[in-house]
């Protein structure tokens, strides 16, 4: 038996079996085909089932778009686009305002910390002990009867300049240092 014969046999079997009755068949039996026998209706080309085919073509035929379903699809797409465009601007505004709110909250928190620091400074300056300590350190005030002792240290710039000169002398050759001591008068450095 060849493959063509097998295909023919399968097609005959599929076409030979009558299709099970559907709701449309029952409706047809009640209204339009009341006088025709049921067997004739089942074998009519309209009611006969086609052989089941597995493939993309059969699937596409099942899904085929009718003009009404195509119009519904287009209207649905247009409505979705309109809704998306309508919501786009408010959502953008919402998210930008949310980020601005976070920034302002952080700024307010920083300002609260600064206010707390300034309030602490005001409270310190109202304290007599703090005022006395600042007067002693900054203005070098003393109470009556105390002996002030002031230690004179070179300023930071003078110390840095002296350290730089010492490094420069250490890097210079010995004969250069000898010449500098002989050429520079005493007391000028």
Residue by residue, pLDDT tens for the chain (189 residues) are: 555 665 565 555 545 445 555 545 544 444 444 455 555 445 555 555 555 556 666 666 666 667 778 888 899 999 999 999 999 999 999 999 999 999 999 999 999 999 999 999 999 999 999 999 999 888 889 999 998 887 777 778 888 898 998 998 899 899 888 888 888 887 665
Residue 178: the pLDDT is: 87
| The pLDDT value given to residue 58 | 65
Residues contacting residue 177 through CB under 8 Å, at least 6 positions apart? 169
The helix/strand/coil state of 41 is: helix
33-70 residues labelled b (16+ CB within 10 A) or e (exposed): eeeeeeeebeeeeebeeeeeeeeeeeeeeeeeeeeeee
Measured from the Cβ of residue 25, the count of other Cβ atoms closer than 10 Å reads: 17
**pLDDT score of 32:** 47
**pLDDT value, residue 180:** 84
pLDDT confidence of residue 183: 85
Query: For residue 62, what pLDDT is reported?
Result: 65
For residues 130 and 122, the answer to whether their CB atoms sit within 8 Å is no
Contact assessment for residue 182 and residue 188, using Cβ atoms and an 8 Å cutoff: no
For position 9, what pLDDT does the model report? 55
pLDDT at 4: 60
pTM over 0.85: no
């Amino acid at each position: 038996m060849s493959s063509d014969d097998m295909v023919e046999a399968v097609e005959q079997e599929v076409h030979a079996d009558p299709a099970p009755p559907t709701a449309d068949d029952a409706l047809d039996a009640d209204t339009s085909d009341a006088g025709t026998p049921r067997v004739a209706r089942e074998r009519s080309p309209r009611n006969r089932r086609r052989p089941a085919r597995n493939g993309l073509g059969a699937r596409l035929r099942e899904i085929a778009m009718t003009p009404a379903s195509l119009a519904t699809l287009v209207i649905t797409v247009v409505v979705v686009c309109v809704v998306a465009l309508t919501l786009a601007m408010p959502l953008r505004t919402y998210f930008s305002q949310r980020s601005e709110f976070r920034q302002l909250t952080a700024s307010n928190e920083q300002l609260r910390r600064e206010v707390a620091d300034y309030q602490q400074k005001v409270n310190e300056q109202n304290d007599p002990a703090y005022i006395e300590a600042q007067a002693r350190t900054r203005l070098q005030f003393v109470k009556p009867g105390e002996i002030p002792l002031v230690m004179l240290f070179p300023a930071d710039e003078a110390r840095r300049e002296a350290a730089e000169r010492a490094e420069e002398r250490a890097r210079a050759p010995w004969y250069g240092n000898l010449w500098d001591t002989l050429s520079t008068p005493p007391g000028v450095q």
